[in-house]
A and B are shown apart, each in its own frame.
Chain A
Amino acid sequence: MSNYNYINMKKERRKNLIQLAAWTWSWVATLAIASFGPKFIWDDHTTLTVLAVAVNFANGILMIIANRSFFNNLDELARKIHVESLALTLGLAVVVGLSYSLLDATNLIPFDAEISNLVMFIGVAYIFVLTVNTRRYS
């Protein structure tokens, strides 16, 4: 019985997931180095700071490429679930992000609107929406 290389497909999906995880973790690590390095490691040496930011940026691009490969090899139901989740998360990020920025601009909140808060919100929102969508199709 031909099974459309099911085993290979599973292996490929697993390989893509591991690659994505590796690039994501290395991106987080290079981001941490670029953020804290100037103050704690190389004493604000401009060349090293530029190098750290460039390495982090290049790593981020490779992470995006790995994410694309992972996405393109997903099972068709899984891809639909991820697309719906991404669409909702993108909408939430724009609406919440701009409202948050507006709160800061109009001084309705006593602190600055930090981009890191929005990134954390996007992460939590994506996990939540993905969980709800996965349950919907199970």
Chain B
Amino acid sequence: MKNRLKVLRAENDYTQEDLAEFIGVSRQTINAIEKGKFDPSLPTAFRISKFFKLPIEDIFDYEEG
């Protein structure tokens, strides 16, 4: 699953640590999500959506297969 997390974070001038603190996960988790190595759980995706005040589909792009 692709995502725009890194771009959104840069646009809003937030660090991985800032985002991790708000979401309630580790900085390593944010890093793994940004690199596309780990797909977040639904609650985490909703918290990210709330953090950036954007719909989930504007942040995450699900591709079949």
Flag if A136 contacts B26 (CB, 8 Å): no
When distances are taken between beta carbons in the complex, the residues of chain B under 8 Å from A1 are 22
Flag if A136 contacts B41 (CB, 8 Å): no
Flag if A4 contacts B23 (CB, 8 Å): yes
B21-40 with Cβ < 8 A to chain A? 21-26, 28-29, 31-32, 37-38, 40
CB contact between A6 and one of B24, B29, B41 (< 8 Å): that residue: B24
Interface size grouping (class) on chain B: 10 to 19
The reply on A5 being an interface residue by CB < 8 A is yes
Flag if A77 contacts B28 (CB, 8 Å): yes
| Min C-beta distance of B20 to chain A, whole Å | 8
Q: Once the chains are docked, how many angstroms separate the CA of A108 from the CA of B40?
A: 49
Q: CB-nearest residue of chain A relative to B26?
A: A75
Q: Once the chains are docked, how many angstroms separate the CA of A128 from the CA of B23?
A: 30
The reply on A2 being an interface residue by CB < 8 A is yes
Interface size grouping (class) on chain A: 10 to 19
Flag if B47 contacts A137 (CB, 8 Å): no
The reply on A9 being an interface residue by CB < 8 A is yes
Assess A77 versus B38: contact at CB under 8 Å? Given A138-B31, A138-B32.
yes
The reply on B15 being an interface residue by CB < 8 A is no
Q: CB-nearest residue of chain B relative to A7?
A: B21
When distances are taken between beta carbons in the complex, the residues of chain A under 8 Å from B41 are 76
| Min C-beta distance of B39 to chain A, whole Å | 10
Assess A3 versus B29: contact at CB under 8 Å? Given A136-B37, A137-B37, A137-B38.
no
When distances are taken between beta carbons in the complex, the residues of chain B under 8 Å from A136 are 37
| Min C-beta distance of A119 to chain B, whole Å | 30
| Min C-beta distance of A114 to chain B, whole Å | 38
Interface string of A3-46 (1 = CB under 8 A from B): 11110010000000000000000000000000000000000000
Residues of chain A whose beta carbon lies under 8 Å from any beta carbon of chain B: 1-6, 9, 75-78, 80, 136-138
